[in-house]
Structure 1
Amino acid sequence: MSTSLLYLVKRTELAVRARLDELLRPAGITALQYTALTVLERHDGISAAQLARDSFVTAQSMADMVRALEGRGLIRREPNPANRRERLILLAGPGRALLAEYAGPARALEQRMVADLTADQTAAFREALVTAWRALS
């Protein structure tokens, strides 16, 4: 009997997270915090709820993460002009600098993950992951 795809996906996700945590340790951030920063890099000025959804964490975990990242000056919060009760989260200059510093090493980690795949296999792997995510979303 072959290994469950769910198991293989989870095992891969845990390996990626462990390698990212190692890579980011000198910066003093976790893989989850890095993920949140990359989300802000693509979608700056979003709510904490949206950031939590896009970063794959709970709202409570995001609240703690926002406090930590804001305390380090990596993000900032501003009032939402469309909703006075909500604050938008934006990537601050030091957060952008951190992402720029780790962009190459993160790309190298991704390349290491697919090193034994051809370019066509890598493209198919990427498409398969997107398709699987869409099917479950």
Structure 2
Amino acid sequence: MDSPVGWTIVRLAHVLSRRFETAMRPHGLTPAQFGVLATIAAEPGIGSGQLARRVLVTAQSVGELVATLETAGLVARDRSGGPGRRAGIRLTPQGRTVLDGASRAAATLDDPAVFGLSPAEATTLNSLLHRALRAQHESPPT
């Protein structure tokens, strides 16, 4: 019997989340922290509000994530804009090093064989998942 698509995605997400947590642990990161570092690397100077939207967490959660990463010396906030101005966030050299190692670990989980798929099937699945994700952002929950 086939299960509903949403439930299948939830089940797969749980399995992959546990594997991702295990892969990030040696780098001292959580999956959310990895997502924050990767997003900052892709968009240096990003503000916290935009960062929260990109990594799908609340503004409060991203504030806590960034504060933890800042304390660890992995990111720095540019506060040169003065009071009330957006403080852009950037990776520190140490943050870049940690992200590079964590990215290599994450890449091992991205091999199509991990999913039991051919490269072409993995490309198709990724495209479909991105379309489903966009649809969820465009339509409010009911």
- The TM-score with structure 1 as length reference comes to 0.89
Query: 2-side partners of 1:26 and 1:104: how far apart?
Result: 12
1:42 maps to which residue? 42
Secondary structure of the 1:86 match is: coil
Cα distance in 2 between the residues matched to 1:119 and 1:96: 29
Structure 2 counterpart of 1:61, one-letter code: S
Deviation per CA, 1:74-115, whole angstroms, max 9, x where unpaired? 10000375995221111111111011112222111111533x
The 5-angstrom pairing of residues 29-108 of structure 1 reads: 29-79=29-79, 81=81, 84-108=84-108
Q: Is the 8 A contact 2:27 2:102 kept in 1?
A: no
**Alignment length, in residue pairs?**
136
Structure 1 residues not aligned, in runs of 5+ = none
Q: Return the offset for 1:52.
A: 0.9
User: Which amino acid is the alignment partner of residue 38 of structure 1?
Assistant: A
Deviation of 1:72 after TM superposition, in Å, equals 0.5
> How big is each residue's C-alpha offset from its partner over 1:23-68, in whole Å with a ceiling of 9 and x where there is no partner?
1112221011011111111111111111111111111111111110
Q: Tell me if structure 2 keeps the 8 A contact 1:80–1:88.
A: no
Output the amino acid matched with 2:65: M
Most deviating of 43-52 and 83-92: 83-92
RMSD: 1.9
TM-score (ref. length: structure 2): 0.86
Q: How does 1:110-129 map to 2 (within 5 A)?
A: 110-111=110-111, 112-114=113-115, 116-129=116-129
* Residue 11 of structure 2 is aligned to residue 11 of structure 1: yes
Identity of aligned residues (%): 29
The residue identity in structure 1 corresponding to 2:15 is A
CA distance in 2, matches of 1:64, 1:119: 37
Residues 120, 73 of structure 1: alpha-carbon distance in 2 compared, 3 angstrom cutoff: same
Give the direction of change, closer, same or farther, for the CA distance of 1:80–1:49 in structure 2 (3 Å limit). farther
> Quick check: which one's strand share is greater?
1
Match of 2:23 in 1: 23
